[in-house]
Amino acid sequence: MKFVRTEIPDVVLIEPVVHGDERGYFVETFRADKLEEFLGYKINFCQDNESKSSRGVLRGLHYQLHPAAQTKLVRVIQGRVLDVAVDIRKESLTFGKHVAVELNAENKHQLLVPRGFAHGFVVLEDDTIFAYKVDNYYSPENDRGILFSDEALNIDWTIPYSELKLSAKDKVQPKLTETNDIFDYKVNYYND
- Reported confidence tier of residue 191, pLDDT bands at 50, 70, 90: low
What element of type H or E holds 34?
helix 32-39
Is 192 within the bounds of a domain? no
Let me know: does 103 contact 109? Beta carbons within 8 Å. yes
- Number of structural domains (the chain) is 1
Calpha distance 76→110 (Å, rounded): 8
Is 154 within the bounds of a domain? yes
* pLDDT, tens digit, 9 for 90 and up, residues 72-131: 999 999 999 999 999 999 999 999 999 999 999 999 999 999 999 999 999 999 999 999
Determine how β-strand 183-184 pairs with β-strand 89-90. parallel
Is 3 within the bounds of a domain? no
63 is known as an active-site residue: no
> Does the annotation place 47 within a ligand binding site?
yes
Strand-pairing partners, residue 183, are 89
Q: Is the peptide bond before 67 cis (omega within 30 degrees of 0)?
A: yes
Lowest mean pLDDT among 20-24, 131-135, 176-180: 20-24
Let me know: does 115 contact 183? Beta carbons within 8 Å. yes
- CATH code of the domain covering residue 97: 2.60.120.10
pTM, entire model: 0.94
Is 172 within the bounds of a domain? yes
> Does the annotation place 44 within a ligand binding site?
no
108 Ramachandran zone, left/alpha/beta (phi>0; psi -120 to 50)? left
Looking at 25, 109, 132, 185, which residue is catalytic?
132
Per the model's pLDDT, the better-predicted residue between 132 and 187 turns out to be 132
Looking at 62, 66, 185, 190, which residue is catalytic?
62
Is 163 within the bounds of a domain? yes
> Does the annotation place 59 within a ligand binding site?
yes
- Report the pLDDT value the prediction gives residue 189, as an integer from 0 to 100: 81
| Residue-number span of the structural domain to which 78 is assigned | 45-184
Is 152 within the bounds of a domain? yes
E-strand ranges in the chain read 2-5, 12-15, 18-21, 24-27, 47-53, 58-64, 72-78, 80-87, 89-90, 98-104, 110-113, 117-123, 128-134, 143-145, 183-184
- Report the pLDDT value the prediction gives residue 186, as an integer from 0 to 100: 84
Is 12 within the bounds of a domain? no
Average pLDDT for the chain:
95
Strand-pairing partners, residue 64, are 143
98 is known as an active-site residue: no
Is 157 within the bounds of a domain? yes
Calpha distance 188→38 (Å, rounded): 17
* pLDDT, tens digit, 9 for 90 and up, residues 140-166: 999 999 999 999 999 999 999 999 999
